[in-house]
């Protein structure tokens, strides 16, 4: 499994990464601190799970980055992470994003991984 995590808070990022490695030991996890870092590192959307902090540094916030990835063709599982209240569905539905409230627990991340495995393989 290929996972991308964009989170600028080092402590929280480490907790998320450790939890993902516990749940999915063979996962390849790419970690970025800003939207600009992710955008400069990838020229394709070849990952299975994308976790985006809503308030990240860079040209785009997490919501705008999610829209950008969808527009670029990413059709996999994606989740926005935040300690702030869940936004209205009219924001999340068009970008087909899950919402993860911080602090993020083990069962929530496990549910996202199971959602990845439940998706049909890409054509």
pLDDT at residue number 41 = 86
* Whole-structure pTM value: 0.93
CATH of the structural domain 2-118, one choice from 3.40.50.2300, 3.20.20.70, 3.40.720.10, 1.10.10.10: 3.40.50.2300
Is the model's pLDDT at 118 over the cut of 70?
yes
Span 28-51, pLDDT tens digits: 999 999 999 999 987 766 899 999
Domain boundaries, the chain: 2-118
Question: How far is it, in rounded angstroms, from Cα 63 to Cα 65?
Answer: 5
pLDDT at residue number 45 = 63
The mean pLDDT value of the chain amounts to 92
Residue 107 CB contacts under 8 Å (≥ 6 apart), including other chains = none
Q: What's the N-to-C CA distance of the chain in angstroms?
A: 17
CA angle, corner 104, sides to 100 and 5, nearest 5? 70
pLDDT at residue number 123 = 59
């Amino acid at each position: 499994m290929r996972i991308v995590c964009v989170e600028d808070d080092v402590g929280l990022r480490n907790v998320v990464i450790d939890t993902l490695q516990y749940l999915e030991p063979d996962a390849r996890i790419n970690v970025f601190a800003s939207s600009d870092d992710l955008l400069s590192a990838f020229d394709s959307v070849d990952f299975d799970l994308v976790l985006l902090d809503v308030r990240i540094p860079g040209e785009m916030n997490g919501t705008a980055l999610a829209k950008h990835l969808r527009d670029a063709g990413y059709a996999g599982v994606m989740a926005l992470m935040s300690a702030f209240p869940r936004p209205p569905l009219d924001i999340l539905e068009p970008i087909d994003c899950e919402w993860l409230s911080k602090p993020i627990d083990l069962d929530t991340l496990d549910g996202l991984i199971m959602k990845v495995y439940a998706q049909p393989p890409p054509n």
